[in-house]
Amino acid sequence: MALVTLTIDGKETQVEEGTSILEAAKTVGIEIPSLCYLKDINETGKCRVCVVEVEKSNTLMASCVTPVANGMVVGTNTERVRSARRTVLELILSNHRTDCLTCEKNGDCKLQDYAYEYGLEELRFPSDRVLPELDDTNPFFIRDLSKCILCGRCISVCSDIQGQDAIALIGRGFDTKVAPAWDKPLEESPCVFCGNCVQVCPVGALTPKYSVGKGRFWEIEKVETTCPYCGTGCLLDLHVKNGKVVGASGADGPVNEGWTCVKGRFGLDFIHHPDRLTVPLIREGDGFKEASWDEALELVASKLGGLVSEHGSDSVAFFSSAKCTNEVSYLMQKLARAAVGTNNVDHCARLCHSSTVAGLATSFGSGAMTNSIHEIADAKAVFIIGSNTTENHPVIGIQVKEAVRRGAKLIVADPRDIELAQKAHIHMKHLPGTDVALLNGMMNVIIEKDLHDKEFIETRTENFEAFKECVSKYTPEYVSEITGVPAELIVEAAVAYATADTASLIYSMGITQHSTGTDNVLSTANIAMLTGNLGKESVGVNPLRGQNNVQGACDMGALPVFFPGYQSVTNPDIRSKFEKAWGRELPSEPGLTVTEAINVAYEGDLKGLYIIGENPMVSDPDINHVEAALKNLDFLVVQDIFLTETAELADVVLPSACFAEQSGTFTSTERRVQLVRKAIEPPGEARSDWEIICDISTRLGYPMNYSSSGEILDEIASLTPIYGGITSRRLDSKGLQWPCPTEDHPGTPYLHKGKFSRGLGLFSAIDYIPAAELPDEEYPLILTTGRILYHFHTGSMTRRTEGLHAHRPEAFIEIRPDTAEDLGIVDGEMVQVSSRRGKVEVRAKVTSWPAPGVVFMPFHFAEAAANILTNPALDPKAKIPEFKVCAVRIDRLPLEAAL
Amino acid sequence: MNVVPADLNNVESIVNEIVTRHEGNKHELVAVLNDVQKTLGYLPESALIQVADGLDIPLSKVYGVATFYTLLSIKPMGKHVIRVCESAPCHLLGANSLIDVLRKELRISIGETTKCGTFTLEHTSCLGLCGVAPAIMIDDEVFGNLMPDDIPAILEKYK
């Protein structure tokens, strides 16, 4: 692009053609004031504060929208400019309620700054405007439109970043305001309360509720860290004052680029919730007594040690947590393997993506997201199957919407009319549990129409012929009968996916949580290989991991068959490497998975269990069975930040620090290792998870001594080739994406370039197998479960967050209008839902979202736990339970029916 | 503008027909809203929702446009709409005295509709008739160089 030379305030500069004067000024260190300008997002020239004088031009120019020209001579701070700005500011201020004394924005307000700079003591223009009333109806932020200056930043962010278009400028003249259509409450608009509007508001019109009165801008220290909710890996700035987290905002992370979702921004007040555990607890009858750390740790060590000497190492098991840091999961598996001598170590990835690890490792040799999140926006087609992206990975949802804005075809396969299904070009509303059939049908079409990538198949893959033979019988008509998707839609989707230059396939638990979970994953790998959508930018098979550090917990070997870095425990060479490093003989037999451990406990062969940060009493299938199993243990230790439903059953409860109170690293779904920084001290006597593990290990006779979490990370790097170059010295705000084998390696944005991790990509011939439990006369409906935007997993954090809990206080079951009519159920009534395993009472939400014969429940709510109903049938390879399909019946409650 | 009595039972097919006539082109939003208003007399909620859907424009934006232009209305209008120019030249040459007479004759204020539903009285931004200020517009017809005494006779034509 051509360069343009111009002079700004006497300084010459050269910038690219098309650059605005405002941006050009930055190159010579001049910051032109503006209220409305947001680079690339809101460039409208609306507020007129950025006006500058351009020689030979009669009028002043808005510098944010005026492109530079050769030979231009610009004055940004002349008397004429300053006088114009003063008038503009006076006009803005005349319609702005000025209450700086109590305004939350005081000290961080651009209007206040400029009023000060331009000396606006008295205003010449009294206003007739009737100032709008304050709106504090939503639980997340306050809208005080009497301070709104109509700059339009919030509208641009809502539209062009978040893609919700909830608000616009409505009305005209003095009555103009930023609001949803008909000035309805935000709750009745498409608003998802991401609060990105709050973050960009230059004045005090939008302020987060939970920060009100908690601290002035200049008193607050911002600590950059990684969000503790989903696996996207957004960086947040925690706002800290006097040892308390009083707010949060999006930091400029490589994935989130400053944005965040409702949970990251407004969902952190659980940190200071009065329910936080602050002292160790020891069981006493039906309750607990408070204990000293010494007493509690001694009891844990003596009980676990006693069980090991009496019943052997494999009589105890360890559940690490996808919520904790890499360092914690590393130490947890080291504790199990080296200190105790068992491979019985696992974590909740078993319940969400164990089939991903099993499936993608088979097909490609590496079980992780192949590409990076930011690449999605440039894909020419995005195929989402079994992921409610905008609710469960909201900031990745932003990338998908951006891809659509840039012209990508969006194909969604989901049994419900989720937001992205409504925005998709093609929505295949298939029945839960029919994913293999659907994908085989699409692949049948691709081969029939000769759209497959023959060169890629020839040079990069193997076993194509057997696979081709297998899919040949899955004609669109046959698949249509199984899935309920019209044949022509299957053809259309197949052609759209196969003919796009780059197609990114995204999936999540809709694929993995089935008794055929591994088969589903293998099928996603098949369709990507068939079309050559691997090993380059903006393509790939992209499983979105649910928890902040579920990728890391897997990477760290909190898995019964792997040491850190997916190094097999059955490989003698690997084992001897770890034996040398850890100074102990290590077990060679694979251990128990989470789901198997529960079953073995139920049978009485597992005696002791140490759980960190997991809540199987809400998260696991068939909770009645889980409860019986946990009660059958001789000794249960639970280490958590709250007394969860699981901790209530424990013999010893250890209080731990939450993410804001300890240091370490999380690995996001795109394999990016990022820093978690300690911002505040833990409450009471709560301690860092890694310090607690070290103490227990030491008391078990295997001393662990680390001075910091960084020292643990360096030990991980020394033993884990994919983390080889990821050391505490190197990590900064950008993080590093594994594989990163050496200290000079830049990290790997996308996998399998030129060659798969296993050499050739392996096609698998996969036949469709129906779900383990299908509807029948007694239980005629298919229940599928999932999550909602405003809660996270078992709700132990989000349900202790004021705003989130107020906004979505209770569970519901989505029932189609036709089903509801058949059963005589009206929207909002309480119903009883039962399966072969149990029953719950829950409120009916009548909606056309689910596919025919399907009902949906979120699993966050312990008092109406979907997992009392779900089927614990396991995938034979990955041992993941079938959360996504079980048969249920719905009955009206006697009282409701009598009305 | 000859306002046809609002056919609110038929909003769906009417809006559909108008959107189709404009080939679903989102750049013709103002024209579409204008046509809907001409047919229905105003822009009811259901019509705006359908326009948003049909043109694939966010509802908030459609509503924003519908409430920005003085020629569009989200409230039911009288059979005839009287628009008094409120720009500076008309103001200087006595627009306010015209309004005084109109209010007295019709017994309504700016923004209101007569009980019988015959007239709605509104302000409008500049009509581009500054040469014959003060000016008013009734439906599609313009009247300029007005004196307060001219008003009763003009209204009579529409009663």
Each residue of A395-435: pLDDT tens digit? Answer: 999 999 999 999 999 999 999 999 999 999 999 999 999 99
What is the average pLDDT across A632-656? 96
CB A738 within 8 A of CB A757: no
* Interior/surface letters A374-401, b for 16+ CB within 10 angstroms, e for the rest: bbbbebbbbbbbbbbbbbbbbbbbbbbb
Same-domain status, B152 and B109: yes
Distance from CA of A404 to the nearest CA of B (A): 14
Are A171 and B70 an interchain contact pair (Cβ–Cβ within 8 Å)? no
Count CB atoms within 10 A of the CB of residue A765.
Answer: 16
Residue B3 lies in a domain: no
Residue B135 identity (one-letter amino acid): A
State the pLDDT confidence band at A630, using cuts at 50, 70 and 90: very high
What is the total count of domains within chain B? 2
Each residue of A58-102: pLDDT tens digit? Answer: 899 999 999 999 999 999 999 999 999 999 999 999 989 999 999
Positive or negative, the CA dihedral A862, A866, A868, A871 is negative
Q: Inform me whether the C-beta atom of residue B131 falls under 8 Å from chain A C-beta atoms.
A: no
The per-residue pLDDT for A168 is 97
Chain B residue with the nearest C-alpha to that of A163: B58
What is the average pLDDT across B153-159? 91
Are A168 and B70 an interchain contact pair (Cβ–Cβ within 8 Å)? no
Chain A residue with the nearest C-alpha to that of B43: A182
The per-residue pLDDT for B7 is 63
Q: Which two tokens stand for residue A457?
A: 């198949």
State the pLDDT confidence band at A654, using cuts at 50, 70 and 90: very high
Q: Inform me whether the C-beta atom of residue B9 falls under 8 Å from chain A C-beta atoms.
A: no
Q: Inform me whether the C-beta atom of residue B133 falls under 8 Å from chain A C-beta atoms.
A: no
Q: Which of chain A's residues have a Cβ under 8 Å away from the Cβ of B62?
A: 181
Q: Which two tokens stand for residue B71?
A: 């020629």
Same-domain status, B94 and B133: yes
Where residue B90 sits, what CATH number does that domain have?
Answer: 3.40.30.10
The HSE-up count of residue A563 (CA atoms within 13 Å, CB side) is 29
Which structural domain range is residue B149 located in?
Answer: 80-156
Same-domain status, B42 and B103: no
A598, pLDDT greater than 80: yes
Name the residue among A420, A464, A482 with its Cα closest to residue A765. Answer: A464
The per-residue pLDDT for A620 is 83
**What is the residue-averaged pLDDT of chain A?**
95
A565, pLDDT greater than 70: yes
Same-domain status, B49 and B101: no
DSSP structure string for A55-84: TT-SS-EETTTPBP-TT-EEESS-HHHHHH
Our CA angle for A550, A556, A557, nearest 5°, is 100
The per-residue pLDDT for B1 is 39
Q: Which of chain A's residues have a Cβ under 8 Å away from the Cβ of B67?
A: 170-172
Chain A residue with the nearest C-alpha to that of B67: A171
Mutate to test the interface with B, among A158, A161, A162, A165 (most CBs of B within 10 A): A165
Distances (CA, A) of A239 to A108, A215, A258, A394: 13, 9, 15, 22
Are B60 and A171 an interchain contact pair (Cβ–Cβ within 8 Å)? no
Question: Which residues 19-58 of B are in CB contact (within 8 Å) with A?
Answer: 45, 48, 58
Are A170 and B67 an interchain contact pair (Cβ–Cβ within 8 Å)? yes
State the pLDDT confidence band at A795, using cuts at 50, 70 and 90: confident
Distance from CA of A181 to the nearest CA of B (A): 5
Helix (H) or strand (E) holding A418: none
Same-domain status, B96 and B133: yes
What is the average pLDDT across A154-163? 95
A899, pLDDT greater than 70: no
In A, what residues contact B, Cβ < 8 A?
159, 165-172, 180-182, 189-190
Q: Inform me whether the C-beta atom of residue B5 falls under 8 Å from chain A C-beta atoms.
A: no
Residue B75 lies in a domain: no
B5, pLDDT greater than 60: no
- Sort residue A242 into left (φ over 0), alpha (ψ -120 to 50) or beta: left
Q: Inform me whether the C-beta atom of residue B96 falls under 8 Å from chain A C-beta atoms.
A: no
Name the residue among A62, A61, A126 with its Cα closest to residue A90. Answer: A126
The per-residue pLDDT for A257 is 93
Residue B89 lies in a domain: yes
Same-domain status, B104 and B133: yes
Q: Inform me whether the C-beta atom of residue B118 falls under 8 Å from chain A C-beta atoms.
A: no
Residue B91 lies in a domain: yes
Chain A residue with the nearest C-alpha to that of B49: A181
Q: Which of chain A's residues have a Cβ under 8 Å away from the Cβ of B64?
A: 168-170, 181
Residue B127 lies in a domain: yes
Are A181 and B70 an interchain contact pair (Cβ–Cβ within 8 Å)? no
What is the average pLDDT across A19-46? 95
The domain boundary, picked from B68, B89, B109, lies at B68
Residue B1 lies in a domain: no
Among the partner-chain residues A159, A165, A171, the one whose CB lies closest to the CB of B67 is A171
Chain A residue with the nearest C-alpha to that of B48: A181
Q: Inform me whether the C-beta atom of residue B63 falls under 8 Å from chain A C-beta atoms.
A: yes
Spell out the residues 6+ positions from residue B140 whose beta carbon is closer than 8 angstroms to its own: B1
The per-residue pLDDT for A898 is 60
The domain boundary, picked from B68, B102, B117, lies at B68
The HSE-up count of residue A490 (CA atoms within 13 Å, CB side) is 28
Name the residue among A622, A626, A621 with its Cα closest to residue A645. Answer: A626
The domain boundary, picked from B44, B68, B92, lies at B68
Helix (H) or strand (E) holding B25: none
Q: Inform me whether the C-beta atom of residue B75 falls under 8 Å from chain A C-beta atoms.
A: no
Same-domain status, B152 and B85: yes
Domains assigned to chain A? 3-77 (3.10.20.740), 110-272 (3.30.70.20), 281-352+549-721 (3.40.50.740), 379-543 (3.40.228.10), 781-898 (2.40.40.20)
Same-domain status, B135 and B91: yes
Among the partner-chain residues B60, B68, B74, the one whose CB lies closest to the CB of A172 is B68
Q: Which two tokens stand for residue A205?
A: 């019109």
Among the partner-chain residues A170, A189, A190, the one whose CB lies closest to the CB of B64 is A170
CB A386 within 8 A of CB A509: yes
Distances (CA, A) of A651 to A26, A318, A635, A693, B98: 62, 15, 6, 17, 87
Q: Which of chain A's residues have a Cβ under 8 Å away from the Cβ of B123?
A: none
B4, pLDDT greater than 70: no
Spell out the residues 6+ positions from residue A195 whose beta carbon is closer than 8 angstroms to its own: A140, A141, A208, A260, A262, A265, A266
Each residue of A225-273: pLDDT tens digit? Answer: 999 999 999 999 999 999 999 999 999 999 999 999 999 999 999 999 9
Determine phi and psi for A349, rounding to 5 degrees: -60, -25
Alpha helices in A611-685 (DSSP H): 616-619, 623-631
State the pLDDT confidence band at B2, using cuts at 50, 70 and 90: very low
Alpha helices in A476-622 (DSSP H): 476-483, 487-499, 509-512, 517-530, 550-555, 572-582, 594-603, 616-619
Count CB atoms within 10 A of the CB of residue A283.
Answer: 17
Count CB atoms within 10 A of the CB of residue A459.
Answer: 11
Distance from CA of A695 to the nearest CA of B (A): 58
CB A270 within 8 A of CB A793: no
Q: Which of chain B's residues have a Cβ under 8 Å away from the Cβ of A171?
A: 67-68
Distance from CA of A419 to the nearest CA of B (A): 14
Chain B residue with the nearest C-alpha to that of A181: B60
Same-domain status, B85 and B64: no
Are A189 and B60 an interchain contact pair (Cβ–Cβ within 8 Å)? yes
Q: At what angle do helices A435-448 and A517-530 cross, to 10 degrees?
A: 20
Among the partner-chain residues A159, A165, A172, the one whose CB lies closest to the CB of B67 is A172
The per-residue pLDDT for A618 is 84
A327, pLDDT greater than 70: yes
Q: Which of chain B's residues have a Cβ under 8 Å away from the Cβ of A168?
A: 58, 60-61, 63-64
Q: How many residues does chain A have?
A: 899
Distance from CA of B45 to the nearest CA of A (A): 9
**What is the residue-averaged pLDDT of chain B?**
90
Distance from CA of B67 to the nearest CA of A (A): 5
Same-domain status, B143 and B115: yes
Q: Inform me whether the C-beta atom of residue B60 falls under 8 Å from chain A C-beta atoms.
A: yes
Mutate to test the interface with A, among B29, B48, B50, B60 (most CBs of A within 10 A): B60
Positive or negative, the CA dihedral A99, A41, A164, A256 is negative
Count CB atoms within 10 A of the CB of residue A818.
Answer: 12
Q: Inform me whether the C-beta atom of residue B61 falls under 8 Å from chain A C-beta atoms.
A: yes
The HSE-up count of residue A80 (CA atoms within 13 Å, CB side) is 13
State the pLDDT confidence band at A897, using cuts at 50, 70 and 90: low
* Interior/surface letters B74-91, b for 16+ CB within 10 angstroms, e for the rest: beebbbbbbbbbbbebbe
Distance from CA of A157 to the nearest CA of B (A): 14
Each residue of A277-307: pLDDT tens digit? Answer: 999 999 999 999 999 999 999 999 999 999 9
Among the partner-chain residues A159, A170, A172, the one whose CB lies closest to the CB of B63 is A170
A733, pLDDT greater than 90: no
Among the partner-chain residues B60, B70, B74, the one whose CB lies closest to the CB of A165 is B60
Residue B74 lies in a domain: no
The per-residue pLDDT for A818 is 96
CA A691 to chain centre: 27
What is the average pLDDT across A591-604? 94
Rounded Cα distance between A87 and A851, Å, is: 59
Each residue of A111-130: pLDDT tens digit? Answer: 999 999 999 988 888 887 88
Are A165 and B58 an interchain contact pair (Cβ–Cβ within 8 Å)? yes
Rounded Cα distance between B70 and A171, Å, is: 10
CB A183 within 8 A of CB A170: yes
What is the average pLDDT across A4-17? 96
Rounded Cα distance between A541 and A528, Å, is: 7
The per-residue pLDDT for B41 is 87
State the pLDDT confidence band at B140, using cuts at 50, 70 and 90: confident
The residue whose two tokens read 């069980």 is A307
Rounded Cα distance between A32 and A77, Å, is: 9
Percent with pLDDT over 70 in chain A: 100
Are B64 and A168 an interchain contact pair (Cβ–Cβ within 8 Å)? yes
Mutate to test the interface with B, among A162, A164, A167, A169 (most CBs of B within 10 A): A169
Rounded Cα distance between B113 and B130, Å, is: 27
Residue B125 lies in a domain: yes
What is the average pLDDT across A147-169? 96
Rounded Cα distance between A316 and A309, Å, is: 11
Spell out the residues 6+ positions from residue A357 whose beta carbon is closer than 8 angstroms to its own: A349, A367, A554, A559, A566, A878
What is the average pLDDT across A686-711? 96
Each residue of A847-887: pLDDT tens digit? Answer: 999 999 999 999 999 888 899 999 999 999 988 999 999 99
What is the average pLDDT across A446-467? 96
SS3 call for B135: coil
Q: Which of chain B's residues have a Cβ under 8 Å away from the Cβ of A401?
A: none
Are A182 and B64 an interchain contact pair (Cβ–Cβ within 8 Å)? no
Distance from CA of B85 to the nearest CA of A (A): 15
Helix (H) or strand (E) holding A337: none
Residue A588 identity (one-letter amino acid): S
B6, pLDDT greater than 80: no
Same-domain status, B86 and B152: yes
Same-domain status, B49 and B26: yes
Rounded Cα distance between A202 and A216, Å, is: 16
**What is the ipTM for the molecules in this complex?**
0.86
Rounded Cα distance between A318 and A785, Å, is: 27
